[in-house]
Structure 1
């Protein structure tokens, strides 16, 4: 499939990411591309990989997730390597070299009561560095009712790493880090960013930006997102106990650049 760049990332968008830890990039993916990603989401749901999980807690609905999906679906590998997504990450992270850590589908079915708990991403992964970000591509209309993500502006610059939070088992992660503060009980202390999005919009947020989302209270609309975790030139391998499982051992040493078959270089290098 041929992917055409929509436009260049602006300096204002780069500055917004640096300041707030998140930026919304509107309509960088056309309807044909979104159709492909939706088809892949449905195919992946029907035929999940061994890494698929249902993160639903007590309540209604299903919160489906699957990771390293590019390794199982060739059209997604083509997208990661040849769509504008890696160039967008390169521009926002200000790094000519870009590795993909992994990609992922996250799908909240209609009526899914499970929220996305407040967390930041990077403490789940064996990755150190500042040039780390998550791209969250909307495949459906996203509103507060369907589960629009809230981001705490500037939280990537707090200088604090928080213990990873399991959506299923609160005792799963053991790293000796403080727990995420009780955001909802102290909302007046923070400044939030939340974006209603149309299919083809995406956000990029820093690996240490604290964020969460409500459940999907719509009874008719899915909230499907295709997510890519990107790393820039300063990222290194940082294995620690009790992390989110990766597809396999990357075969590199702690402190090494991420460059390997598991975390391949997509741009530069």
Structure 2
């Protein structure tokens, strides 16, 4: 069966995303005629039409839509494999852990210490990424492993191990009407502006949040309230109050890595993390009291 190579896929994806041969050629840094010939050759070899070129411009066929979706994944996979292989081949090799600032549930220091004590441990680099970027960093090869939270994170293409289940607290401005309460319910926050997270629902008139420091700043000056895991207490600043939300669903801190990973360094880090985490679970999980 005839298959597209990576060069052809890059050309096709560019055209499919731009829906314009001229713009796609400029994006790729090549002339338009060779790009057109590449797409025509790919269609002949595959035996299907990928693009309709009519009076309304360039449009994807059903086959083209499928190849765009799968082609993106294939190109991301090639890029990720290249990054991981290059990182593994360096001397000394490193293991990159992606996390958002403060997104470790208070476990990371002990995990790193226990990992460093292992005779075959690889040096761990911490990559503090934007909110919601941890899983993407693993999928595209920027990171080998990630600390993230379920159910918020998209774990498609990843394996994972749960480390810590936490109750949730409301992060409130210092002078908020609820800041002095012992506990609240989610309905108490119905009139408050909540953050808009990347690729997630939120109030359209609320600031979009990608960086944890910006979130704390906006809360501290009264622009937002937010709900997060109990462990965020230790990172709250600017007088931000943390009040238990008794009916908020628990949130799970998880360690994630690529599906079917064959890296011994990843395997060792996962083993250490899942050994350390239970020792902290009872001390760090604070069950909210029932009722208000």
Task: Name the TM tier (shorter chain).
Answer: under 0.3
Higher relative contact order, chain-length normalized (CA < 8 Å, sep 6+): 1
> Which has the larger Rg?
2
User: So what's the TM-score if we normalise by structure 1?
Assistant: 0.27
User: So what's the TM-score if we normalise by structure 2?
Assistant: 0.25
Greater share of helix: 2
Greater share of strand: 1
